[in-house]
Amino acid sequence: MRSDVEYSPVGEGLGMRDFWLYVWLRRVAVIATHVTGLGLTLVLSLLSRPGTSLFSWHPMCMSVAYCLCMTEGILLFSAEGSPFCFKSWKSKVRLHWFCQALVLIAAATGLGFIVASRNVSELPHLASWHSLLGMCTLTATVLQTACGIAVIFPKLLRLSCPSSRLKLYHATCGLVVYLFSTVTVMSAMFTDWFQATAKGVAWWAFLILPLFPALVVMSQITNAYLPRKKLTS
């Protein structure tokens, strides 16, 4: 069945010189995103000092889930700067699923620790913008996982929607989840814990850094799935 939407390839319409400059800049951006995601995860984990309290595990688990695993799970499909760029598509899909499984495990663990910490401290739940955004991100992550299952097993679930559309919906939902997680990470910088940990220029750096991976991921997904024109059936 022919799809009614054609998707625009990256760099279409550019001259050869501009195209290679575009590819080089994207490669640099993707590599910088790998470094940023890993760096944020390591620094937030060190600042939280895991093991010193129940709460200390929460920032580490959530940064591993969203700053590292989700970022890497999306960048797997990047043609520029991914260590798995020479792998087959099927291998990339399997690695993507592995990364997303780690996201769910790490996020659920982080949720468990923060719930336990607030119960022990007798503090109310969902009492801040960060916690509300976090619950929205977790809910969206679960829904996105369900969407991914629909992409892999459309016949088993007896879905009549074309595969191309399911992939488009999955990618769009993934972008929404990633943007949600970015806003949630940024809101963490306004919590009492982080403001007591980082101050001045360091605080501003941590606030701005999550925006860079979000821009790269948004560019990757929109370039791969943005509809270019309608086709006749």
Does residue 230 lie within any of the structural domains? no
| Residues of the chain below pLDDT 70 | 1-20, 22, 80-86, 226-233
For residue 123, give the CATH number of its domain: 1.20.120.1770
pLDDT 10s digits, 3-20: 444 444 445 555 566 666
Which structural domain range is residue 171 located in? 37-221
- Which pLDDT value is given to residue 27? 84
Long-range contacts of 161-164 (CB under 8 A, 24+ apart): 162/1, 162/3, 164/3, 164/5
Does residue 133 lie within any of the structural domains? yes
For the chain, what is the domain count? 1
Does residue 3 lie within any of the structural domains? no
- Which pLDDT value is given to residue 8? 44
- Which pLDDT value is given to residue 17? 63
Does residue 127 lie within any of the structural domains? yes
Does residue 191 lie within any of the structural domains? yes
Query: How many CB atoms are located within 10 Å of the residue 103 CB?
Result: 25
pLDDT 10s digits, 181-198: 999 999 999 999 999 989
- Which pLDDT value is given to residue 225? 73
Task: Please state the three-class secondary structure of the chain as a single string.
Answer: CCCCEEECCCCCCCCHHHHHHHHHHHHHHHHHHHHHHHHHHHHHHHHHCCCCCCCCHHHHHHHHHHHHHHHHHHHCCCCCCCCCCCCCHHHHHHHHHHHHHHHHHHHHHHHHHHHHHHHHCCCCCCCCHHHHHHHHHHHHHHHHHHHHHHHHCCCCCCCCCCHHHHHHHHHHHHHHHHHHHHHHHHHHCCCHHHHHHCCHHHHHHHHHCCHHHHHHHHHHHHHHHCEEEECCC
Alpha-carbon dihedral sign for residues 142, 148, 150, 156: negative
User: What is the residue type of 226?
Assistant: L
- Which pLDDT value is given to residue 155? 82
